[in-house]
Amino acid sequence: MFHNRMPRYEILSADAMETLDRGWRKLMTEIGVEFMDERALELFRQAGQKVVDNTVFLDPEFVLAQVAKAPREFDVQARNPANSIHIGGDSMAFGAVYGPPFVRQGDVRRDATMSDFRNFTKLAQSFEVMDSAGGVICEPNDTPLDSRHLDMTYALQTLTDKVYMGNVVSGVNAADTIAMSSILFGGRDNIVKTPASIQLINCNSPLRWDDRMLESQFEYSTAGQPVVLTPFILMGAMSPVTIPAALVQQIVEALSGVALSQLINPGCPVIFGSFLSNIDMQSGSPTFGTPESGIGLLCTGQIARHFGLPFRTGGGLTSSQVPDAQAGYEALMTMMPTFLAGANWVMHSAGWLEGGLVAGYEKFIVDIEILQMMHAEFTPLEIDEASMAFGAHEEVGHGGHFLGAMHTMERFRTCFYRPLLSSSDNYEKWMRTGGVDTAHRAEKIYQKKLEEYVAPPLDDAIRLELEEYVVRRRAELGD
Amino acid sequence: MFHNRMPRYEILSADAMETLDRGWRKLMTEIGVEFMDERALELFRQAGQKVVDNTVFLDPEFVLAQVAKAPREFDVQARNPANSIHIGGDSMAFGAVYGPPFVRQGDVRRDATMSDFRNFTKLAQSFEVMDSAGGVICEPNDTPLDSRHLDMTYALQTLTDKVYMGNVVSGVNAADTIAMSSILFGGRDNIVKTPASIQLINCNSPLRWDDRMLESQFEYSTAGQPVVLTPFILMGAMSPVTIPAALVQQIVEALSGVALSQLINPGCPVIFGSFLSNIDMQSGSPTFGTPESGIGLLCTGQIARHFGLPFRTGGGLTSSQVPDAQAGYEALMTMMPTFLAGANWVMHSAGWLEGGLVAGYEKFIVDIEILQMMHAEFTPLEIDEASMAFGAHEEVGHGGHFLGAMHTMERFRTCFYRPLLSSSDNYEKWMRTGGVDTAHRAEKIYQKKLEEYVAPPLDDAIRLELEEYVVRRRAELGD
C-alpha cells in the first residue's frame, strides 16, 4: 500500500479552526442529531445525553471523550497478508467506485449486472495501486435483491485476495457479511482481533442517521469491524451553500456517529468520513471535481487530524457522462487534493463516471493511470550528491545530450514513471497505430487485463463453506 | 489578474536546499556556461569572470551579486490599464500556448496560419482569466518568414488590449518589437519606465546560450523589457535523468542568464524561467503532465523564491494528440502544481496540445475551464459566524433540504463556481441535447466566442503609425 511521506497541504488557519470549533459545538448542542433507532437513543440516554423524540442533543465534551476511545490507526487484514492494509497515519488505501446502478462500455450505457460486478472485481485485483475492489462496485441488477449481498461478498472474497467492504443495506446483510468473513478468516475471533472488512455508514444529511444504516453500524461495531461514518453532503441541498457550514455540519455528523460506535463497543475502529461536493444551483444536479469540493477535501483532512481520527474522502469523481477531457480533469481535481490531504481510505478511486451513477470500464483505466501517477508524484525526492550527476555533465558537456551518458544508461529503465495509458507517440506513429484517443486505448487495456486475469488461490474447503453459506442463506431469504 | 493568497506547497527540506546549493555552485564553477556571443563574453571578462573560448566559469558569489540587482517584483503595462499585470509576489499571470507550427480543429490537424493566429489572439482577449495572448500562439506559416514577427506583433497589439510577448527570433526582430511597443505606448521612454512586453529567452540546454537568443536578450534588457531566462530541459535528453540534477542545471542556466541581463543593464527586470519535463526513455518522445514534471515544478517555485526572483513555469501541458481524457488530466497535472507553487508568469496556459506542436482550439477552451476552476480553488475560504449558517439549520431541520432556505436564496447565484464547459446534465438531458463529449461542447464555445468577439478600441493615429511601420519594415526586410 501507499505511504504518503510528502507534506500535507493545510489551508485552515488556527483562527479558522477555532471558528469551526465554536460552530460544531453550537450545532451539536442546540440543533442536535437524529438517530432513527431506539437502541441508539437508549445508549445516548444511558450516557446522560439529552434525548427528545429521535433527536440527541449532544454534549461536545462527552463526544470528544468518545472520540478519544477510538484508535488513531488500525490494520485491516486481507486473505493474502501481502495485501493487508493499515488505516491512519501516512497510509493511503484505495478502493474502486461504490454504488452505481449502471455501467458504461464504450458507447453503451446499460444496467449493471453480476457479470460486470465480477469484471470490475477482477480489474481491481489486477492493478497493484488498488488496495480493494471496494464493496458495491456496481449494482448487480440481474440478481435477486434480497440475496445479492451474498453474491457480491462471495465475489469480493474469491476473485480478489484484497481487503473488501461489507454490505450495509440492513442489519441482516451486515450479519451475513460478518459470517462470511468469519468463514474466510477462520472464525469470528480472528476478525474481531484484526478486522477483515470496512463498511460505509452514510448519514442522511442533514443531521439524521437512518435506521438501516444504524442496524448495520450496530452489527459491525459490535464485531469490531471499522465503520466509515460519512456525512453525505452535496452543498446547497444537504447542507447550506457555504463551505464552512458544510464543514461544521460534517464534523457534527461524523463525530456523532463515532460517538455511537464507541458507546456500542468502546475502542472499536472508526473512520471519519467525508463525501462533500455541491450541486449546480441552476439545475440542482450534483457536480463533482469542483473547486468547492477540492477546498472541502483539503479542509477535511486537516479537521480529521485535529480530532485524531483516520479519515476517508476523495476519489476519482466526475460529473461527466463519458471518459472524456472533463472526466480526466475532474477526476484529478479530486484525486490531487486527496493526496495533498493524505486521505487514509479512498473510495471511488477507479471507475466513477456520471456523478457515480455509472461504473465506467474505460474510466476505470483512466483512474488507474491517475492513481499510478499520483503514487509517483507523492514519493519524496531523494537529493544527494549522486543524484546531482556532476559526472554526467563532465561526460556530456555544453549543448550535448544525455541520452547515451553512463548516468542515463544506469538508470533509464526506472528513472521516470512509465505510463499505462497515456500516449506520447508522435503524430505519424499515433496515426499509424490507429489515431485513437485515450478512451479507446483504455478499452484495449481493460479487455487485455480481463483476459489475463488469474484468480488468486483459495483453499477448497473454505470456498466450499462459503458456497454452502450462500446457498443456505439465499434459500432462507426466499430468493 | 490573479493573486494567489493560498499557502505555497514546498517540498524541499533545508537540507535538500543546501545540497542543491552545493550542486549549482560546483557546476557553475567547474563546468561553466557557454555564451555564443562575443558581447556577452566581453561583459563577463570585464566583470572579472574566467572565460575560455565560449565558456564562462562563473563565480557563484559574483552571480548572486548580479541576481541581487534584479527587481523582486515589477509591473508590465497593457494598453488597457485595467489589463496591466504585476510580476512577482503572490501575482500569477497567464498567457496562451507559445510556438506550435500546427493547429487542431476537431478531427483536422493542419499547418497553422495567420488566420489561426488572429483567432487564438481573439480567444485570449475574450476570457478574463487570460492575462495575455502570449507571443507566438501558433506559427503563421502562410506569412513570409522574415517579416511575420511584424504581423504577429501587430495582431497582438490591436486584437487585444492585454500584455503581449516580444519576438525573440533575432536581434532585428527584437528591435522591431521594441519599436512597435514604443509606437503603441507613446514613445520608448514610456516603455523603459514601465515595460510593455515580456520575452522568452530559451537556453540551449545543457549549459549553452545561443547567439540569436542572446542578441534578443541584449535588445530587450537594454530597453528594460523583462526577459524570462528559461532552461529548456527534457530530463534524459537535455539534462541527466535525475530530478535533482535537472534542478541544479536549471539554477546554473537561469542564474547565468540573469547575471548577463544585469551586466547589460543593472536593475533590469528578469524572470527565473523553467520549462522542465522528461522524455519517454523507450521512445525518446517528450512527455508532459508527468509526475516528474510536477515535482520539478513544485521545487522550482521554492528555488526561485530562495533566490528572490519572480519565476515562470507551468501551464496546461499534455502529450496527448487530441483533447481527450489524457489531455484533461495531464493539463491539470501541470496546472495544479503551477498554483501550488504560485508561479508568477505562466505560459502555455491555454491551447497546448501534442507536446506543444499543436495549438488546439477545443483544448484552448478545456484549459480556460481548468484555469477558471483553479482561480476559484485557490481563493482563500472566508470562515466566520455568518458563513457557518446556523440559522439555515434552524430553518431546515434534520433530514430536510436547503434548496429553498433563505440562506441559500441569498447566495445561490454566486456561491459556487459556474462551469463554462463541464456538464453535469443527467443522462436523459445530456442525450436530448446531443450526447456530445467535452471536446464537442468546447467547439461550440470557441466558435461562439469568435463570433461575439469585439476588438478593443484603439486610437486611429496609433493604428496608422503601427501599420505604416509594418509596411515599411516588411519592404526593408525584402518580403
Nearest CA in chain B to A239: B402
- Average pLDDT of the residues in B177-187: 98
Smallest CA–CA separation between B417 and chain A, in Å? 7
Instruction: Give every CB contact of residue A308 below 8 A, 6+ residues apart in sequence.
Output: A67, A68, A72
Read off the pLDDT band of A421 (50, 70, 90): very high
Percent with pLDDT over 70 in chain A: 100
Say whether the ipTM exceeds 0.90.
Answer: yes
pTM: 0.98
Distance of CA B132 to the CA centre of its chain: 9
Read off the pLDDT band of A348 (50, 70, 90): very high
Tell me which chain A residues have a C-beta less than 8 angstroms from the C-beta of B31.
Answer: 393-394, 397-398
Percent with pLDDT over 90 in chain A: 99
Q: Mind giving me the DSSP string for B23-62?
A: HHHHHHHHT-EEE--HHHHHHHHHTT-EEETTEEE--HHH
Contact A270, A66 (CB under 8 A): no
| Radius of gyration of chain A, Cα coordinates, nearest whole angstrom | 23
- pLDDT per residue over B277-314, tens digit each? 999 999 999 999 999 999 999 999 999 999 999 999 99
Contact B236 A384 (CB under 8 A): no
Smallest CA–CA separation between B177 and chain A, in Å? 28
Least confident of A127-141, A177-191, A401-415, B75-89: A401-415
- Average pLDDT of the residues in A150-171: 98
Contact B403 A369 (CB under 8 A): no
A294, A370, A389 ranked by CB distance to B245: nearest: A389
Contact B236 A295 (CB under 8 A): no
C-alpha dihedral, B174 to B176 to B182 to B183, nearest 10°: -160
d(Cα B167, Cα B197) in Å, to the nearest integer?
9
B140: cis peptide before it, omega within 30°? no
Read off the pLDDT band of B64 (50, 70, 90): very high
Q: How many CB pairs under 8 A join A and B?
A: 391
Report helix, strand and coil shares of chain A as percent, to nearest 5. Answer: 45, 15, 40
Tell me which chain B residues have a C-beta less than 8 angstroms from the C-beta of A419.
Answer: 280, 287
- Average pLDDT of the residues in A87-95: 98
Nearest CA in chain B to A420: B326
Contact A408 B240 (CB under 8 A): yes
Closest CA to A144 of A123, A163, A169, A125: A169
pLDDT reported for residue A479: 86
Tell me which chain B residues have a C-beta less than 8 angstroms from the C-beta of A326.
Answer: 328, 421-423, 437-438
Average pLDDT over chain A, rounded to whole?
A: 97
pLDDT reported for residue A444: 98
A10, A416, A438 ranked by CB distance to B326: nearest: A438
CA distances in angstroms from A247 to A291, B7, B300, B416, listed in the order given: 15, 20, 33, 15
Contact A412 B281 (CB under 8 A): yes
For residue B27, pLDDT over 90 is answered with yes
- Average pLDDT of the residues in B426-444: 97
- Average pLDDT of the residues in B228-236: 97
Smallest CA–CA separation between A42 and chain B, in Å? 19
Q: How many CA atoms lie within 13 A of A439 on its CB side?
A: 24
For residue A25, pLDDT over 90 is answered with yes
B27, B289, B399 ranked by CB distance to A208: nearest: B399
A interface test, pick of B370, B398, B432 with most A CB neighbours within 10 Å:
B398
CA distances in angstroms from A102 to A112, A136, A352, A355, listed in the order given: 5, 12, 11, 11
Contact A411, B242 (CB under 8 A): yes
Contact A34 B398 (CB under 8 A): yes
Nearest CA in chain B to A232: B399
C-alpha cell read off for A49: 445525553
- Kindly give the pairing relationship between strand B55-57 and strand B33-35: antiparallel
Average pLDDT over chain B, rounded to whole?
A: 97
Q: Which domains does chain B have, with CATH numbers?
A: 2-9+67-377 (3.20.20.480)
Contact B20 A336 (CB under 8 A): no
- Average pLDDT of the residues in A160-188: 98
Contact B325 A321 (CB under 8 A): no
For residue B46, pLDDT over 90 is answered with yes
Nearest CA in chain B to A394: B31
Nearest CA in chain B to A281: B412
pLDDT reported for residue B183: 98
Tell me which chain B residues have a C-beta less than 8 angstroms from the C-beta of A412.
Answer: 236, 241, 281
Read off the pLDDT band of B479 (50, 70, 90): confident
Read off the pLDDT band of A319 (50, 70, 90): very high
- Kindly give the pairing relationship between strand B275-279 and strand B270-273: unpaired
- Residue whose C-alpha cell is 524561467: B273
pLDDT reported for residue B375: 98
d(Cα B153, Cα A152) in Å, to the nearest integer?
64
Contact B325 A323 (CB under 8 A): yes
Contact B430 A248 (CB under 8 A): no
- pLDDT per residue over A34-72, tens digit each? 999 999 999 999 999 999 999 999 999 999 999 999 999
Contact B355, B320 (CB under 8 A): no
Tell me which chain A residues have a C-beta less than 8 angstroms from the C-beta of B294.
Answer: 377
B interface test, pick of A329, A385, A428 with most B CB neighbours within 10 Å:
A329
Closest CA to B354 of A171, A452, A230, A437: A437
Nearest CA in chain B to A23: B388
B310: cis peptide before it, omega within 30°? no
A384, A425, A435 ranked by CB distance to B285: nearest: A425
| SS3 (DSSP) at B423 | coil
d(Cα B169, Cα A329) in Å, to the nearest integer?
35
Which run of H or of E encompasses A189?
helix A188-193
Contact B401 A439 (CB under 8 A): no
Burial (CB < 10 A; 0-12, 13-18, 19+), residue A184, is buried
C-alpha dihedral, A98 to A103 to A107 to A108, nearest 10°: -170
Tell me which chain B residues have a C-beta less than 8 angstroms from the C-beta of A422.
Answer: 287, 289, 319-320, 326, 330
Contact B403 A237 (CB under 8 A): yes
pLDDT reported for residue B69: 98
For residue B271, pLDDT over 90 is answered with yes
| SS3 (DSSP) at B84 | coil
pLDDT reported for residue B350: 98
For residue B205, pLDDT over 90 is answered with yes
